[in-house]
Amino acid sequence: MERVYLYDTTLRDGTQRRGLSLSLEDKIQIAALLDDFGFDYIEGGWPASNPKDTAFFERTRGTTKNSQIAAFGSTRRKGIRADEDLSLRAIVDLEVSVATIFGKASLFQVEKILETDRAENLRMVEESVRFLVDHGITVIFDAEHYFDGLTVDAQYALAVLAAAEQGGAAWVVLCDTNGGSLPAWIRHGVEEAQTVIRLPLGIHAHNDAGLAVANSLEAVAAGATMVQGTINGYGERCGNANLCTVWPNLVWKMNRPCGRTDRLQDLTRLSRTVAEIANLAPDDGAPYVGENAFTHKAGVHAGAVRKYPQAYEHIEPSRIGQTRRILVSELAGRSNLLYHFDELLDAEQIQSLIEQVKDLEAQGYQFEDAESSMRLMVERSVKRLPSYYAVERFHVSVTHDQQSICEATVRMRVGEGHFVEVGEGAGPVQALDDAMRKALTEVYPQVRELRLTDYKVRVLDGRDATGAAVRVWMRSEYGDGVIQTVGVSRNILVASWQALTDSIDYLLWSTEVPSRHVANADSVV
């Protein structure tokens, strides 16, 4: 099957997403990742628009192994020569080997937005492309608004493509700029383009109708051999075609080689690393790479997947760097618990635990993302969880003056020893955490390794106003391990304390730390 070229525009089109801003170092880091994954082209930015993009091209010159860095720009302005256009001159001055320039392929855009005539626009396209080609630059021409242009004046839209070919373009990319086309329209547009030019075609799809991925795949099926898009679908308005979805579909569903296929097994990491650099939360529902892509909650599904994973999974999760997750919740059946605890619990214990989970979730607990609390509950039910300490009481106070300070006192017992410690923090949870660490680290130094990395509070019933029960969810890390715990109470500090103590218990249990709370270390609660 003919190869498909992957063209990433995360660093340019992706940054047009609301709330997304990349520093120069961010862009360099993402470019290195894309190069490692074998993307054919990386669009670095528009050098005429800002100094940061110019600096990016200077810093990345000659540094890539698999990718070509492309500069972005526009056709010349109306009424001037190409060599007088500052945008085109900026591209030439960068000494790049590849440039992507866009021009209008819709008569409406030409007459109403550019406010010029059809002949001048055709000259703008051809002369701009030729100017860059004459300077030794490979030109990719983006036919902006092409699919909309076909509905306005098909003959003129096709003439724009011919002008780019006449100017010496290496590629013509058909752009669904407004993102409103249907797959059938995309196929028609590709087939029409093939009747007037012989250049290889690409597709640049936006997601305003939720069809950017489908339209990209349809264009390839119709003959396009380049797909432009972004990591995680970042982009203006509803975003661009998501290359984290397009790429595996091309390789595994359409048998089209593209990128370094051996790196697909790390695609989930690429998606989440770029999200982290962009300071955006990953989309849990994203195909292939989302947290929920291979997560099963319903008992019927869990039972089927336990027997035959392909019953509810279209690929093996490990092929994309994912792992299968079977959730335990009020929707859980025997299969959910058997998946995790088959060798630990008998049938009677399983049924008892199901009822316990459903009762706790009715109170507001949620164990889907609190696997650590769930595991502790199972270990307690079979009396295999050691008692590491006893909490006799804790107290939190807040001093409010020019700078609020929270102070927490905890009284704990480990074996025959009593510990009273005072901790401080910017908030009550931090103060409690500080005091508890001080009380335990002398006996259990492993507690020092625990780091709280996320903390969320959810009001369970707002009708009770400030008396409402709340659910506290915590994520902690130690070494390469992750601990996720939950607590529920009408007192936010009690809920936080539950989640905090669970995280410490789980750390000690999972690292097999011997209990020093009782004389016999084998005693359990």
- CATH number, domain of 144, equals 3.20.20.70
In a domain, 283, yes or no: no
39/165 same-domain check: yes
Residue with tokens 């012989």: 198
269/299 same-domain check: no
Number of domains, the chain: 3
In a domain, 519, yes or no: no
263/306 same-domain check: no
State both tokens at 134: 């004459």
H helices of 364-409, in order, are: 371-381
In a domain, 372, yes or no: no
Give the per-residue pLDDT at 164.
Answer: 98
In a domain, 282, yes or no: no
In a domain, 58, yes or no: yes
Pairwise CA distance, residues 205 & 185, whole Å: 12
| CA 443 to centroid of chain Cα atoms | 40
Give the per-residue pLDDT at 323.
Answer: 78
Give the per-residue pLDDT at 330.
Answer: 47
Give the per-residue pLDDT at 195.
Answer: 97
Pairwise CA distance, residues 166 & 134, whole Å: 13
CB 134 within 8 A of CB 169: no
177/321 same-domain check: no
Domain that holds residue 339: 295-363
- Going by their DSSP bridges, the two strands 98-104 and 68-74 should be labelled as parallel
417/493 same-domain check: yes
DSSP-assigned letter for residue 237: T
260/354 same-domain check: no
In a domain, 499, yes or no: yes
In a domain, 398, yes or no: yes
| Residues near 510 by beta carbon (within 8 Å), at least 6 away in sequence | 481, 483
The last residue of a domain, from among 318, 348, 363? 363
In a domain, 474, yes or no: yes
State both tokens at 218: 């349809």
The last residue of a domain, from among 277, 303, 320? 277
Pairwise CA distance, residues 33 & 37, whole Å: 6
Give the per-residue pLDDT at 459.
Answer: 86
33/69 same-domain check: yes
46/88 same-domain check: yes
- Going by their DSSP bridges, the two strands 41-45 and 68-74 should be labelled as parallel
DSSP-assigned letter for residue 112: I
DSSP string covering 332-366: --HHHHHHHHTTT--HHHHHHHHHHHHHHHHHT--
**Secondary structure of residue 201 in the 3-state scheme:** strand
Give the per-residue pLDDT at 449.
Answer: 87
CB 231 within 8 A of CB 271: yes
Greatest C-alpha distance within the chain = 93
Give the amino acid at 384.
R
CB 220 within 8 A of CB 229: no
209/333 same-domain check: no
202/330 same-domain check: no
- pLDDT tens, the chain, 525 aa long: 799 999 999 999 999 999 999 999 999 999 999 999 999 999 999 987 788 999 999 999 999 999 999 999 999 999 999 999 999 999 999 999 999 999 999 999 999 999 999 999 999 999 999 999 999 999 999 999 999 999 999 999 999 999 999 999 999 999 999 999 999 999 999 999 999 999 999 999 999 999 999 999 999 999 999 999 999 999 999 999 999 999 999 999 999 999 999 999 999 999 999 998 898 888 989 999 998 888 776 556 656 766 777 777 899 989 998 877 666 554 455 555 555 565 566 667 777 777 777 777 777 777 767 788 888 888 887 788 889 998 888 888 887 766 778 899 999 888 878 888 888 888 888 888 888 888 888 889 999 888 888 888 888 876 777 778 888 988 889 888 889 999 999 888 899 999 999 999 999 999 988 888 764 444 333
228/135 same-domain check: yes
The last residue of a domain, from among 348, 363, 378? 363
79/192 same-domain check: yes
Give the per-residue pLDDT at 328.
Answer: 54
CATH number of the structural domain spanning residue 496: 3.30.160.270
